[in-house]
Amino acid sequence: MDSSPPEVVIFDLETIIETEAIIEFGAIIVCPQTLVEKEYFSSLVRPRHDEEFGEFEERSNGLNIDEIVSSNIYFSDIAHTVYDMLDGRIWVGHYIKNFDCRIVEDAFHEIGQPPPEPLDVIDTWELCEMFRGEVDNLEMATLAEYLGLGEQIHRSLADVRLNLRLFRRCVELFYLTEFSSLLRAASNAGVPRYLGPEEYSIPTLRAHYDSCDSLDQARDVYLPISCTSLNVRWGILPIRFWDDNGRPKLSFVVDAPGNLTVMLDECDRMLWRLFRRFGINSEWRNVVDRTRNSPALRLRIADTADKQTIVCKRRDSGKIKRLVFDESELGTLLTPSTRLDAEFFLETYDYRGSAGIRLVAHKLIVHP
């Protein structure tokens, strides 16, 4: 478990006033200690039904129906990413308690998925009550002008970054002590952290597997692993299998770092013995591929109802942008010699006479 403070996510929605349909979502993840942006995501969102546009006309910020429709991105297409950005973090936004939180919850219910849950919600509208009497109203545009923070343009990502500047100012002026206390309290929730291979203790893993009374107990070990600067040996491999919903099962191959190879070889040995102990005699296939010149690993791309691989691109500035991807886009991103950071976890399988370990990618960050 990670004992560091939970992350903060600041998000904003652009909606159609009459129907409350979401037409744009933007969010940034912020370091809780420094309040510096770490990662961002934004996307246009096409309403499920065209009549939800109502009397919508092109806005002064350039947002128009043609752009929204041509994006052809529905909320269901980005729901995995929105959920992952929001769930388990402290939510910050302007007037979100009375509006954005409810709209997000409704959007998830409409597609039949559980909505994300915050650790806490901080509304900068409430924080700025201190300014009443000094400004005409508490709209973000008014506050931003009063505090010299810049202009609000009513596009989600730009407004989120403006909201971050407003939040920093509030923390500086009024709420530093209270905010720090909130972070300390929320950190007790405990969020799994992806560890480097060297952070895992082989004796501890052995002790766990030796104490398992069933295979289900072994499969409950999540073993989240993090590796930086992996080299892609082969990009997206030819599709051979499809899931029950007709989606292709995607994977690619990276060179295996030495410390990760040592750990996975040990996991292979421990799980092979465990399978044999419980009477499963399928042919065991080692997770590290040594059929060619140097060790390699296959990373699977998840795209199911309950989990989806997060794919990001690191900009030259160092900021990370999340991508809404499809198979063709991944093919151009994950090419041989590409460098990437990866967070992944172990799964065991036993299928048609073969058994072993799969490495399923939780998050990929492609280097510039």
Beta-sheet pairing, 250-255 with 310-314? unpaired
Choosing from 49, 80, 109, 154, the catalytic residue is 154
CA–CA separation, 70 vs 63, rounded Å? 12
Verify whether residue 208 is a known catalytic residue. Answer: no
Whether residue 19 contacts residue 200, with contact meaning beta carbons closer than 8 Å, is answered with no
Spatial neighbors of 365 by CB under 8 A, at least 6 apart, are: 312, 313, 314, 320, 340, 341, 342
Phi, psi of 181, rounded to the nearest 5 degrees:
-65, -40
3-class DSSP assignment, residue 287: coil
Neighbour-count burial of 67, counting CB atoms closer than 10 A to its CB (0-12 exposed, 13-18 middle, 19+ buried):
middle
Residue type, position 298, single letter: R
Beta-sheet pairing, 90-93 with 120-123? parallel
Write a three-state SS string for 310-350.
Answer: EEEEECCCCCEEEECCCHHHHHHHCCCCCEEEEEEEEEEEE
Task: Using alpha carbons, select from 330, 261, 270, 329 the residue that is nearest to residue 300.
Answer: 330
Whether residue 68 contacts residue 43, with contact meaning beta carbons closer than 8 Å, is answered with no
Task: Using alpha carbons, select from 351, 233, 249 the residue that is nearest to residue 302.
Answer: 249
Spatial neighbors of 264 by CB under 8 A, at least 6 apart, are: 256, 287, 288, 297, 357
Helices (H), the chain: 65-71, 75-86, 101-110, 124-127, 140-147, 156-170, 176-186, 202-210, 215-219, 258-277, 327-333
Tell me which residues are annotated as active site: 154
